[in-house]
Amino acid sequence: MFKKSIASLMMLALMFTFSTTVNAQESEDYTMWQSVMLTPDYTKLKTLGENMRKHNETYHKEGPYKATVFNITAGPNAGSMIWQMGPLMFKHGDDRPGDGGHDADWRDNVMPYIKKIHTIEYWSQDDEKSNTSMLTSPEFSHPILFIRYFEVSDDHDYTMNNHFKQVSETIKSMPGDNPWGLYYNQFLQGDLGRHVAGVRFYKDWKDFDKDREFKAAYKKLFGADQWDVFIENINDTFTNQWDEIWVYNKNLSGD
């Protein structure tokens, strides 16, 4: 699966574009989402909301074409929205909604109320490292997503797999409810540098006040003397990282 591809990273410019050929060779099944970031016309939010919900209920109600909408409430893209479809595979693009009024409805009833579409991305989940098995319906049970994006250095990309392996093992060793997912961007984003994303799922805002005790769990698992090495590896492996918070918008989603 995708988790195998990431372990063999040698050249960032080549390996971050995981092709469908590689995917097909390594697995017949994988977990991926199409994610569209857009900025609404704030003077037309009521009309946009009504029209987008109707569109999603009509054409994106279930299966690989199910649509989920999030509001970005913190981070450099705060104020924009995420329209997400999936989970799906690339093959589903051949049969995605298009005929039967879908494209015309999106063109005439949604796009006039959108100021800008920023990115259209495909994010695959590292099923082995992720800790998401308890999320049977994350948008309902954990509607707040804390997302940390990483830009990987082309000089130290070989250390990335081990870094996230340790993060995964640490989180899985912690008691309680600690859902976390690791995702790889399937296509190069140029100067955007949105290579990898780690996502923590929260039930409500008060969970942010809790100490997750990741540092203590890491030291217990790998040794207190390894914490500084862990931090150094972060600084070497990533040239940039930043956070966003997404909040599930039930009113606009296709639920």
Query: Among residues of the chain, what percentage have pLDDT more than 90?
Result: 75
Alpha-helical regions (H) of 89-226: 102-105, 138-141, 160-173, 214-222
User: What CATH number did the domain enclosing 116 receive?
Assistant: 3.30.70.100
Tell me which residue of 201, 161, 191 sits closest to 2, measured CA to CA.
161
- Residue 254 counted as domain residue: no
Residue 197 domain flag: yes
Q: Does residue 43 fall inside a structural domain?
A: yes
Count of other CB atoms within 10 angstroms of residue 147: 20
pTM metric for this prediction: 0.87
Number of domains in the chain: 1
Whether residue 231 is contained in a domain is answered as yes
Q: What is the DSSP letter of 131?
A: B
Range of the domain at 139: 2-248
pLDDT digits (tens, 9 = 90+) for 157-179: 789 999 999 999 999 999 988 99
Q: Cβ distance 62 to 230 under 8 Å?
A: no
> Domain for residue 227, yes or no?
yes
Please give the Cα distance from 4 to 108 (Å, whole number).
42
Question: 189-200 pLDDT, tens per residue?
Answer: 778 889 999 999
Cβ atoms < 10 Å from Cβ of 202: 18
Position 134 confidence tier, pLDDT thresholds 50, 70, 90: confident
* Local structure of residue 151 (DSSP, 8 states): E
